[in-house]
Amino acid sequence: QVQLVESGGGLVQPGGSLRLSCAASGIIFSFYGMGWYRQAPGKQRELVAAVTSGGSTNYADSVKGRFTISRDNAKNTVYLQMTSLKPEDTAAYYCNAKGWRGGLEYVYWGQGTQVTVSS
């Protein structure tokens, strides 16, 4: 059974920092690309940051220079370090895993963790 369990969300003031974690189980973690998505009320879910199985990263323009995604294959965990947070970063943040096996793509989601940026 595949599980992605996010943690680290919460309430933070503008300009503050948070680190999200996503612990994966049930998959060969090192084979999967990992990503963080977010969804604000009334908006579509959007990609925030992603890291490939090889360690290449990409970011949404809105978070470049402020957020850093990283992975620890020994701990089956992906992180999202968020700094200089803005109110518009407020959203539910979801962990995502994508991998290929037998010619099929497998995609898994976590349950989400809320990030609220407010004074």
| pLDDT tens for each residue of 62-117 | 999 999 999 999 999 999 999 999 999 999 999 999 999 889 999 999 999 999 99
**pLDDT number for residue 62:** 97
**pLDDT number for residue 101:** 85
pLDDT digits (tens, 9 = 90+) for 3-39: 999 999 999 999 999 999 999 999 999 999 999 999 9
Expressed in angstroms, the distance from the first to the final Cα of the chain is 40
Q: Where are the alpha helices (DSSP H) in the chain?
A: none
- State the sign of the Cα–Cα–Cα–Cα dihedral 81, 68, 60, 51: negative
